[in-house]
Structure 1
Amino acid sequence: MRSTLHRTTLAATLALFFAGASLASAADAPQATTTSATDASQTVNVTLMLHLRDEHGLANYIQQTVTPGSPNFQRFLSTADFARRYGASDAEIARVQHYLASQGLRGDVMANRITLQVSGTLAQFSAAFGTPIHSYRLRSNGRLYHRPTGDVVMPAGLVGQVDAIVGLDNESSFLSHRLSSPHLPQAAPKLASLNAIGANRAKSADSNPTASGQPGEYTVGDVANFYNINPLYQRGITGKGSTVAIVTLANFDPADAEAYWSAIGLTTKPHRIEQIHVDGGGPINSGSGETALDVEQAGGLAPDADILVYDAPNTNASFVNALAQAVVDNRADAISTSWGAPEIYNFAALNVDGARVNDTRDVGTLQAFHTLLMEAAVQGQSVFAAAGDSGAYDTVRGLGHGTGPGEFSAPLTVDSPASDPYITAAGGTTTPFSFAFGNGPVASVSQESVWGWDYLQTYFDTNFGQGVVDLFSVGGGGGVSSYWRKPFYQYFTRGIRRTEGHQSLDYNDPTAGPTTLLKLPSHFAGRNLPDISLNADPETGYLVYSSTDGGATAGQGGTSFVAPQLNGITALLRQSSGHRIGLWNPQMYFLQAVFGYGRYSPFNSVNGGDNWFYQGAPHYTPGAGIGTLDVSNLDAFMRFRW
């Protein structure tokens, strides 16, 4: 993978320490070589998503659950109710299981009656779905993976019964949306000194006592200060009786979160973290810090909420299975994930040999997430996903960007699963601060702005020369989906955009020259994201404690922080209102359309900055969504407006 910074002496001092697994995506195919035949006896897990019964009716019911005056307002379903109304019938399940059994495979259906988890060998799956499965090795890092060589052939008896097959390849992995400041020191003060840092700064009477007040070392207390959460705490609203879930692709040590909360002086409910290891659980690796920060942020904002951590290996099927388990268990009032990958990596043109370059069909994972997110919504579970950290150009962080041999273009793209219309996409801002690199001149960000490091790019270009540092395109993810159509709740929202024209993912083959891998649809009326943003810039970032990262680190940021923060905020709203909040998006867009911005609004507009393409404005923008929150005002609407 190409670094986001040119490899100069100065750039070396600014190296970005991205957390999470390296991405090996479908778009890497030009850099892969076929190896010897795949080990056909290798056992793999594959997930089948069965066809929803009456998807249109399900969509209508979801809308009614969050529409005041509807007879089904806040009448959320249990998992059993969902399975009975919208899951597959006994006959349909039996038909699928019979076919699998004829191929030597066994499928176990989950309680939602739409998710079928199957284990078998690659040879069995290859025969069952009519496609050879070959092994490939990436030239860039030598990683070995397998994938089908062509379209999956759905057996005649299963046509119309199975919507998605996930796990026939282990090609793609997901990035955690966490990264570090390029110039703040990574070593943080000892956790025990945090309260002393905060005590040395002037605090107003309503300031949170756990806040540090120091950009790059912010805590959950600072989040409470920024977004007017403290009035809830003063009323005794701490998430008591609520449960949050973290869906993640790395294991972690729960003692890390306990150490963080204790060190900042935050009293929390004891013994409240429960780990659920899906498909054997995720590894302890560089992504473990992501899991730690998710738990620290969600659990820190809701200190008396219970926390479920669903961790799984970093594969398509296991990511789907972890979300499925969180949804089917239906124990959590809110769920968040800070992992994702570019939406376009799912498109057929990047995954099927010989597919047309304008083929944007979904090949499984998008539909699997979509079905599960619809189930979560009808059960009243609020779900949040980080919108990404590569600004409006979501492929850049994984693929790099340039015009030289072996490099990729940078089309305007968005992240998945954040792009799904049944999830709340968490975007990023930069809060006001002043900064300087070394002994250079001081510059300032004067208002909360869309997070995009082009403001740092300008600083470096001005003071160190053009082309010395390349920060493109670090910033809060946002843009327009090329697959999901504009949802009903965005129909009347000012600022909603269509996809831009003439966007394509191109590969500059070292021998054959430029090759277009995918042409994206122009002026497509797609789902816009993000929906809600909070501070995510590592320059105004946070302290994290993770034993796998060596303890405490400062200058941490990314939309990875915002998704669990919204998760924790939902736990507070759940306790305060006395009921689950459900799908945020229709409610938030309605409130913003009716009440706009102002003293009593639940939202603050984000008028400055950009994410390298979409600029801040006093209305919706694909840079920051609706804007940031005034949580106290939002709580008042959740409690009283119905």
Structure 2
Amino acid sequence: MSAKLHRKSLSLSLGLLLAGASAGALAANIKPAVDVGTASADQTAHVTLFLKLHHEAALEDYIRQTVTPGSAHYQQFLTTQQFAQRYGATDAEIARVQSYLRSKGLNSEVLPSHLAIRTSGSLSQFGQLFQTSIHNYVSRENDHNFHKPVSAPQLPSAIADVVDVATGLSNEKVYRPHHVASPAFTSLGTPNAKANALSNKGSRGPNDNPTASGVPGQYTVGDVANFYDINPLYQRGVVGEGSTVGIVTLSSFYPSDATTYWSDIGLATKPDRITQVHVDGGGAIDGGSGETSIDVEQSGGIAPYANVIVYDAPNTTAGYVDAFARAVSDNTADSISTSWGLPEIFNFAALNTPGASITDTTDVGDLRAFHKIFLEAAVQGQSLFAASGDSGAYDTVRDLGAGTGAGQYTAPLTVDSPASDPFITAAGGTTTPYSYQFGTGPTASVTQESVWGWDYLQNYFAQYVHPINVFSTGGGGGVSVYWHRPFYQAFTFGIRRSEPNQSLVYNDPSAGPTTLLQMPGHFAGRNVPDISLNADPETGYVFVSTNDGGLNSGEGGTSFVAPQLNGITALLRQSTGHRVGLWNPQVYALQNFFGYNFFSPFNSVNAGDNWFYNGAPHYTPGAGIGTLDVANLDAFLRAGF
């Protein structure tokens, strides 16, 4: 780390610690919002119609073959046009939908993948098209203004056999960026006193990479290279050249933030490599802009000579889906990451559809829309990564809080979306070894890389300082109750089923406890995360964000891990000479076969917990397979394993 950045970050540390955790936008409004009347008839909206795939089972089988050595279609990824021809809607189906839209006064644009048709018009037109009325609402929780249909939209019968999902009729959901800062209470002591940059395979000194700081809370991408054995690739000249990383985000940012970060840590990078693509008008410069800066700085810092394309969109479901659809349909990025999400359960009919049963965990459409896009990405060889969340095993807590008093919600075990989709790689979080001391308490240490959960801080304060409540900050992980267990987890030891007796209950001040959702117990669901890296803000990072005051330290969250995996993929893309494709079948097969040893691509995470799931020498929903040894993973991939 350069002296300039090192001195500046040290001077800022205390102020940032006093500032506390970064505020994120609140999410979907679970309590009934106030209906303030019919939305303006001429208000413009963008609606995307996702078309039904053809031969979806064959598509999934082809994806498996692309990442299975010895298969007939190993590494035979499709172009966007080939995907459209084999699995997308036919020309006749598209023509019929467009003709119907024109008859309703709506123009449309077809994605090259034939996966979706984008259209724009007035809310009045869309209300008539989908046989519903669209009203404006104000949230009782946070005064968030939004519009949504008053009843479940109905697909027109003339096109219902072709169209599967329509997104954009509501702008209620607001997604959360998955990064957090060191909490304000750490100003009581001297955390981050020293680095013990250890791994399960021995000691790697903090000076191996010249851009590393070696200081917890002030780590850089150089420290990531030290922790996870990336330096051997750099020494071979593997720096991401010829690769392109994509970022899907819901806030715009200042590209100069990234170039300042790279310059100040002394990292040589490819010049003029950042391209911004504004989808649906683009995202705003707002409270989420720091997230976009993090994503670009981390992915582009790990792979300093890769190109970077940033797809930013407004913070709504339609914006998020459209940004992903554009990034995948463009098929320019070899790998794509996102650091935004919401609890998976917020997509269920029980919480969205008037009159739905509290046990109705069917998807209202958003999960399916993302899934179609992710299938296309996988067959095109684009590796996808999503942050798994920063609320440990209880994903709703960051959005809804938790408690037992009036006006409070329970905290069921839940996972984050889109990370829970089986065709994206979920990025989890760990705490790397470090020593800390607060108040008059003794010096304590995290002696081995552990599942990230701040209960270790809560226990320390309860014993030596004063009681605090940091529940349930930690790496997201658990069991999906929507997506079934995917094939690549079928033979993985440590995979769990959903826990019984998990419900989202609201303690209504006037009506008493009201159960909003009962989730299925013992459900054989997709487990997350898949891979974890350091994410604890106490052993966290510096980043630069103009919108957040410039240089920031003591920052973490799984939103650092997702872009780091994105950048690592760019290195592997250059090293192997081809796209890596969907990570999950490949890494689970390697872990199942080779386990954990000196030559393994993985380090097990045997300690810590995310408030429910403990670390262990096998897969856990706390840290997934574990952390990476990138040099070993690269060797296996180059050898064709």
Normalized against structure 1, the TM-score is what? 0.93
2:108–2:119 Cα contact (<8 Å) kept: yes
Give 2:67's aligned amino acid: V
Q: Secondary structure at the match of 2:558?
A: coil
Q: Matched residues in 1 for 2:180 and 2:295: separation?
A: 13
Q: Matched residues in 2 for 1:206 and 1:256: separation?
A: 25
Q: Secondary structure at the match of 2:482?
A: strand
Q: CA deviation at 1:146?
A: 1.2
1:275–1:308 Cα contact (<8 Å) kept: yes
Give 2:101's aligned amino acid: L
Give 2:68's aligned amino acid: T
Q: CA deviation at 1:184?
A: 8.1
Q: CA deviation at 1:487?
A: 0.4
Match of 2:9 in 1: none
2:573–2:579 Cα contact (<8 Å) kept: yes
Give 2:594's aligned amino acid: F
Give 1:74's aligned amino acid: Q
Q: Matched residues in 2 for 1:105 and 1:629: separation?
A: 49
Q: How does 1:205-220 map to 2 (within 5 A)?
A: 207-220=208-221
Q: Matched residues in 2 for 1:184 and 1:326: separation?
A: 40
Q: Give the 3 Å change call, closer, same or farther, for CA 261–13 of structure 1 in structure 2.
A: closer
Q: Matched residues in 2 for 1:205 and 1:558: separation?
A: 21
1:161-195 Cα deviation digits (max 9, x unpaired): 11111111111010000110115879xxxxxxxxx
Q: CA deviation at 1:205?
A: 9.8
2:340–2:387 Cα contact (<8 Å) kept: yes
Match of 2:615 in 1: 616
1:478-504 Cα deviation digits (max 9, x unpaired): 001110100000000000011111111
Match of 1:197 in 2: none
Q: Give the 3 Å change call, closer, same or farther, for CA 567–472 of structure 1 in structure 2.
A: same
| Alignment partner of 1:25 is 2:28 | yes
Segment drifting more, 99-108 vs 375-384 = 99-108
Q: Matched residues in 1 for 2:620 and 2:364: separation?
A: 29
Q: Give the 3 Å change call, closer, same or farther, for CA 24–599 of structure 1 in structure 2.
A: closer
1:118-138 Cα deviation digits (max 9, x unpaired): 111111111111122222111
Q: Give the 3 Å change call, closer, same or farther, for CA 598–149 of structure 1 in structure 2.
A: same
Q: CA deviation at 1:430?
A: 0.2
Q: CA deviation at 1:26?
A: 4.0
2:247–2:311 Cα contact (<8 Å) kept: yes
Q: Matched residues in 2 for 1:483 and 1:508: separation?
A: 25
| Alignment partner of 1:411 is 2:415 | no
Q: Matched residues in 1 for 2:624 and 2:545: separation?
A: 30
Q: CA deviation at 1:370?
A: 0.3
Give 1:17's aligned amino acid: A
Q: Matched residues in 2 for 1:397 and 1:220: separation?
A: 27
Match of 1:128 in 2: 129
1:578-619 Cα deviation digits (max 9, x unpaired): 000000000000000000001000000000000000000000
Q: How does 1:95-494 map to 2 (within 5 A)?
A: 95-183=96-184, 204=205, 207-465=208-466, 468-494=467-493
2:440–2:465 Cα contact (<8 Å) kept: no
Q: Matched residues in 1 for 2:300 and 2:413: separation?
A: 34
1:220-264 Cα deviation digits (max 9, x unpaired): 000000000000000000000110001111111111110111111
Match of 2:565 in 1: 566
Q: Secondary structure at the match of 1:82?
A: helix
Segment drifting more, 153-162 vs 223-232 = 153-162
2:205–2:226 Cα contact (<8 Å) kept: no
Q: CA deviation at 1:440?
A: 3.0
1:343–1:419 Cα contact (<8 Å) kept: yes
1:418-439 Cα deviation digits (max 9, x unpaired): 0000000000000001112244
Q: Matched residues in 1 for 2:219 and 2:205: separation?
A: 17
Q: Matched residues in 1 for 2:470 and 2:239: separation?
A: 39
Match of 2:631 in 1: 632
Q: CA deviation at 1:140?
A: 2.6
Match of 2:95 in 1: 94
1:19–1:290 Cα contact (<8 Å) kept: no
Q: CA deviation at 1:94?
A: 1.6
Q: Matched residues in 1 for 2:538 and 2:455: separation?
A: 13
2:48–2:118 Cα contact (<8 Å) kept: yes
Q: Matched residues in 1 for 2:101 and 2:363: separation?
A: 23
Q: Matched residues in 1 for 2:620 and 2:204: separation?
A: 33
Q: What fraction of aligned residue pairs are identical, expressed as a percent?
A: 64
Q: CA deviation at 1:70?
A: 0.8
| Alignment partner of 1:522 is 2:521 | yes
2:300–2:308 Cα contact (<8 Å) kept: yes
Q: CA deviation at 1:280?
A: 1.0
Q: Matched residues in 2 for 1:437 and 1:221: separation?
A: 28
Q: Matched residues in 2 for 1:160 and 1:395: separation?
A: 35
1:26–1:345 Cα contact (<8 Å) kept: no
Match of 1:509 in 2: 508
Q: Matched residues in 1 for 2:186 and 2:257: separation?
A: 21
Alpha-carbon RMSD: 1.6
Q: Give the 3 Å change call, closer, same or farther, for CA 554–323 of structure 1 in structure 2.
A: same
2:573–2:580 Cα contact (<8 Å) kept: yes
Q: Give the 3 Å change call, closer, same or farther, for CA 463–13 of structure 1 in structure 2.
A: farther
Q: Secondary structure at the match of 2:38?
A: coil
2:204–2:226 Cα contact (<8 Å) kept: no
Give 1:144's aligned amino acid: N
* Structure 2 unaligned regions, length at least 5: 1-15, 188-202
Q: Matched residues in 2 for 1:183 and 1:534: separation?
A: 24
1:19–1:289 Cα contact (<8 Å) kept: no
| Alignment partner of 1:532 is 2:535 | no
Q: Matched residues in 1 for 2:531 and 2:254: separation?
A: 30
Q: CA deviation at 1:159?
A: 2.1
Q: CA deviation at 1:379?
A: 0.2
Match of 2:556 in 1: 557
Q: Secondary structure at the match of 2:158?
A: helix
Give 2:294's aligned amino acid: L
Segment drifting more, 38-47 vs 240-249 = 38-47
Q: Matched residues in 1 for 2:589 and 2:474: separation?
A: 27
Q: CA deviation at 1:71?
A: 1.0
1:185–1:555 Cα contact (<8 Å) kept: no
Segment drifting more, 83-92 vs 138-147 = 138-147
Match of 1:196 in 2: none
Match of 2:193 in 1: none
Q: Secondary structure at the match of 1:255?
A: helix
Q: How does 1:41-60 map to 2 (within 5 A)?
A: 41-60=42-61
* Structure 1 unaligned regions, length at least 5: 1-11, 187-201
Q: Secondary structure at the match of 1:428?
A: strand
Q: CA deviation at 1:17?
A: 2.0
2:204–2:227 Cα contact (<8 Å) kept: no
Q: CA deviation at 1:15?
A: 6.3
Q: CA deviation at 1:141?
A: 2.5
